[in-house]
Structure 1
Amino acid sequence: MNKLIYIADPMCSWCFGFAPELAKLQAAVAGKLQLELVMGGLRTGADAQALTPEFAQELAHHWQKVTATTEQSFNHDFLNQTNGFIYDTEPACRAVTLMGEAKPEHQLAYLFALQQGFYQQKLDITQPQVLADIANEWLDQSFFADLFDSEAIIEATKQDFEMSRMWQVFSYPTLVYSTGERMIMLSQGYAKCDAILEGIANIEAQLTQQPDDFEQ
């Protein structure tokens, strides 16, 4: 079965803005196209950043733009904290990767739950315990904790980051149509479900008529 590959990050504001459209897309392609998640790693390692007043102002500007475009609401009170918060997206990405390994059928729902927790409920999803609490609907917390710290999950998360960069995806959300042999860019940045479905139909029509026109 051909599939859609969704490259995202739980702490990417545009990915949060895209969440309702992605939910519609998932429902529309169910049984026709598999949806696979790849974590992009928006701010990890040396790119992780302390929440300074200047950075908070920059984030607030981005969040306002997302709201204006998508109508997704943000709790801006999160940006007023002074507890030394570090905007590091690796733990949340690792948690989504973990859910994909343990309970793949709930991975997207977990991603949505993390986004709502961070952007609307002011939860610090850089903290393993918070990530485990949110996952508790699907996974036992002690099982989650064991997997979260395992070398296998840490390495799988790194592989997602490397794959995203190998595909030259540096902005999120991104959707790629994969035939197994070909990788075809479907959308990059926020898009409406109807437009994406139209893009899928166009790709599939061209693959049927002129399969050699696409490059991997």
Structure 2
Amino acid sequence: MSAPQLIYVFDPLCGWCYACAPALAALAHSWPDRLEMLPSGLFSETGARELSPDWARYAWGNDQRIEDMTGQIFSEDYHRDVLLGKNVRFDSALINRALTAIRAIDPTLEPKLLHELQVARYIKGRNTAEGSVVAQVASTVASLAGQVLDASAFESRLHTDELLADETYTRIQATQRFMNQLNIRGVPQLLLHADGKFEAIDSSELYQNPAPLVDRLRRRLS
């Protein structure tokens, strides 16, 4: 019988996924080899869009509500330079490719890269739909783990590597089939896979102090 696994369904540009970053970090620290990251593609391909003033107002209002409820910071730099920036797309495609690429190097780096890209966007106000930004952050994350990742070459891969694009597309398609099979309608969603069954974890647990969730899951995963 295979060991129990944790499955995390997400999109890099989902504000609620950013809101549960402390919980994801705790899970990744506690079970680095049992955490499976599944990008949903919610805000890529047909889900991507230009950041219009109307969408920016909607997103900022939603972000402020998330901040009030969870304490996760959405900075004014993010509001000004990303949501209200010029020629900015709301598109997680390049982030998804970067996550797929770094997963191939070391799967334990994937949640770390996701978190650092969220910090770059929501706190530092950097446009993470741009390949240069994504590549710089990925290079830094890789270097902290003792891996060498040239930012310029990695940025080129994000735009031109057809194999990486296909792998990312296949991965997202598999996630969407998985979501349909389990009737998952939104992200984030954390699941425990044990004894051949999937147990959905109430998302409200992801927005609180993660210690009780980690303790409960430790009993289940032991």
TM-score, length basis structure 2? 0.80
Query: Deviation of residue 144 (structure 1)?
Result: 2.1
Partner residue, 2:188: 173
Tell whether 2:196 aligns with 1:196.
no
Structure 1's 105 and 82: CA in aligned 2 closer, same or farther, altered over 3 A?
Answer: closer
Query: Deviation of residue 203 (structure 1)?
Result: 5.9
TM-score, length basis structure 1? 0.82
Cα separation, 2, equivalents of 1:202 and 1:187: 17
Cα separation, 2, equivalents of 1:187 and 1:155: 32
Cα separation, 1, equivalents of 2:108 and 2:219: 28
Which consecutive segments of 4 or more residues in structure 1 shift more than 4 A?
201-205
Partner residue, 1:144: 154
Query: Deviation of residue 186 (structure 1)?
Result: 2.4
Report the AA paired with residue 196 of structure 1: L
Trace 1:41-190 onto structure 2 (pairs within 5 A): 41-80=41-80, 81-137=84-140, 138=142, 139-145=149-155, 147-148=157-158, 149-168=160-179, 169-179=184-194, 181-188=196-203, 190=206
Higher mean alpha-carbon deviation, 177-186 vs 47-56, is at 177-186
Cα separation, 1, equivalents of 2:171 and 2:130: 20
Query: Deviation of residue 17 (structure 1)?
Result: 1.0
Contact 2:70-2:207 within 8 A present in 1 as well: no
Identical residues among aligned pairs (%): 23
Query: Deviation of residue 51 (structure 1)?
Result: 1.3
Q: Which runs of 5+ in 2 are unaligned?
A: 143-148
Per-residue CA deviations over 1:21-69 (Å, capped at 9, x if unaligned) read 2212333445xx6111111112122221221121111111111111112
| Count of residues in Structure 1 that have an aligned counterpart in Structure 2 | 203
Partner residue, 1:209: none
Report the AA paired with residue 217 of structure 2: I
Partner residue, 1:9: 11
CA RMSD of aligned residues (A): 2.4
Per the alignment, in what secondary structure is the counterpart of residue 127 of structure 2? coil
